[in-house]
Amino acid sequence: MFRAVYSATSKFKYIAQTLVKVADIIPFLATPEGIIVRTLSPDKTTMISLTLPATAFDEYECDGEEGFLVSSDEFNRVVKRGTRNDILELTLERELKRLRIIFRDKKTGVIRTFNVQLREGSIEKLSEPKIELSATIRMLASDFKNIVRDAKMVGDEIEFITTKDKFIAVTETQQKIYRCIMELDKPLISLIVKKDEVRSTYSIELLEATLKAAMAANTLTLEYGDNMPAKIEFDMPGGGILTYWVAPRAK
């Protein structure tokens, strides 16, 4: 038995849109404590980890551990049909091999029901990388979104540079350059760095996949090390966390 009701439907749409950019199949693991999704992109350049605790939902029922797979494209297309007036309900119907998705309009009372077929297969239980990262920057999600969108106008990769008092994002091509410099409280929320300088370069296309998550979150934490993967953690409504790992560009 698994059933969950989530009133922040507009936020959930952004979560689904983030998942579809990473994987073709979404592996859901529902437990009495909440929902976990953890998967790698086919080329293994990115990993996404979503945790939505039971307390993030208006109603939540799960008797034990329930794992199920759905097509990310099909799931996203259905969830996109929700509106800000809708309450979202997810119910696993294992015997019918489907996930039932219901939208209830809070104003009109209209109920819309969709069925997403379950996919065959087992869920691979992945662990997040256990690595020490030298720079930790906390900022508004909207500021990160602007950095990625600005940088895309110039090139296809971006270098992050963190010093004791600054976070710098640089994209440079033969004829163009984009540079953004942020300091603590201008507008960074926090900045912690364990070295005099930390540098690493990442694909803008891969970072762009996080921008839908940035629409659902107010703040994020960016962690990275010299030529190491970046960990981008978004604070979701109700205490949920969406973590996105992205491999560095080789230098």
Every domain of the chain and the residues it spans = 2-119, 135-246
Q: What is the pLDDT of residues 40-88, one digit of tens each?
A: 999 999 999 999 999 999 999 999 999 999 999 999 999 999 999 999 9
**Separation CA 34–CA 47 (nearest Å):** 20
Q: Which residue type, as a one-letter code, is found at position 105?
A: D
pLDDT given for residue 59 in this prediction: 96
What class has domain 2-119?
alpha beta
Query: What is the arithmetic mean of pLDDT over 84-100?
Result: 96
Per-residue pLDDT of 5-38, as tens digits, reads: 999 898 899 999 999 989 999 999 999 999 999 9
Residue for token pair 């800000």: 84
By the 8 A CB rule, do 90 and 35 touch?
no
Domain 2-119 identical in fold to domain 135-246: no
The residue whose two tokens read 């939902």 is 57
CATH 3.70.10.10, applies to 135-246: yes
Write down the pLDDT at residue 1: 85
Question: What average pLDDT does the structure give for the chain?
Answer: 94
- 77/202 Cα distance (integer angstroms): 29
What's the pLDDT tens digit per position in 103-116?
A: 999 999 999 999 99
